[in-house]
């Protein structure tokens, strides 16, 4: 398995820049059941105590991009992220999911996490096209284009709210 990684950076009091990129010729050793090349990149800029970043990943006909901030120290930090996920062929992830998948999907996401309490919130909105997730009750709703929405928040060990919906012309599936 071929792997290549490049990195460079500079940090001074209150400012800095860090960039890195990596290419794996096969992702299988890191994620059993998956295969194919993976490309990763990260660019981050430091101003005062705030890192602002842009991250990108491509693997198995799927692409993810995210932007956000990291503020504070390891003892007390806050992380924000937002971005997009595009999967052209969900079947490539069947082994990882442990069931037959089909179709394609896109989603936007946003989230926030803080330490040390591990307060976390996340939202996801997207669509699936001709998808099959291998769950009979959900697959019945995934005819044609289906809209997907999910949100949850957690403060310590308490999940405060959690909801997931999938809707299409064929029906609606909701869980909370």
Q: How far, CA to CA in Å, does 70 sit from each of 3, 53, 60, 121, 161?
A: 28, 8, 28, 15, 24
Could you read off the pLDDT of 11-25 as tens digits, one per residue?
777 789 999 999 999
Could you read off the pLDDT of 61-111 as tens digits, one per residue?
899 999 999 998 767 889 999 999 999 999 999 988 899 999 999 999 999
What pLDDT does residue 117 have?
Answer: 65
User: How far is 49 from 60, CA to CA, in rounded Å?
Assistant: 36
Mean pLDDT for the stretch of residues 3-10: 76
pTM for this structure? 0.81
């Amino acid at each position: 398995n071929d792997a290549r990684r490049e990195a460079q950076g500079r940090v001074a009091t209150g400012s800095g820049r860090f960039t890195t990129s990596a290419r794996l010729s096969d992702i299988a050793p890191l994620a059993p059941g998956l295969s194919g090349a993976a490309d990763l990149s990260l660019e981050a800029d430091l101003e005062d105590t705030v890192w602002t970043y842009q991250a990108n990943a491509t693997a198995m006909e799927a692409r993810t991009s995210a932007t956000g901030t990291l503020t504070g120290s390891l003892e007390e930090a806050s992380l924000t992220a937002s971005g997009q996920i595009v999967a052209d062929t969900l079947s490539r992830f069947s082994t990882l999911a442990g069931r037959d998948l089909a179709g394609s999907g896109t989603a936007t996401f946003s989230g926030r996490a803080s330490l040390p309490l591990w307060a976390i919130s996340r939202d996801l909105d997207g669509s699936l096209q001709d998808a099959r997730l291998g769950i009979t009750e959900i697959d019945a709703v995934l005819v044609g284009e289906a809209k997907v929405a999910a949100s949850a928040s957690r403060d310590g060990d308490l999940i405060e709210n959690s909801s997931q919906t999938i809707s299409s012309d064929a029906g609606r599936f909701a869980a909370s």
